[in-house]
Amino acid sequence: MKQPMVVSLKGGASGAEALIYMKTGAGDPHKVLIAYSLIYMLPLSAKIPFNWRDLTPVSSSRSTSSCCGTTPRCPTRT
């Protein structure tokens, strides 16, 4: 790289801080978010004003499978 890079780790609130930080920098080509499923689930569970469609994907570094489980007493149905 011909220019220095500053890495800013936005820890806190299970990633909510990073999502809000990215949202406030809309249009800044120098910000990169490396995330996992938090961009889908965190806005729903924490009710933060963020939509994953606001981001522009540039690469997929890996693919994983996920599995959710619950107890038989849970009223959730699929």
- Give 18-43 pLDDT, tens digit per residue: 888 888 887 887 888 887 777 888 88
Name the one residue in this structure whose structure tokens are 């890495």. 7
Q: What is the pTM for the complete model shown?
A: 0.57
- The confidence score (pLDDT) of residue 59 equals 78
Q: Quick check: 17 pLDDT over 80?
A: yes
Residue 78 has a pLDDT of 63
Q: Cβ-count burial of 15 within 10 angstroms (0-12 exposed, 13-18 middle, 19+ buried)?
A: buried
Q: What is the pLDDT of residue 35?
A: 78
Q: Across the chain, what does the average pLDDT equal?
A: 78
Q: What is the pLDDT of residue 51?
A: 83
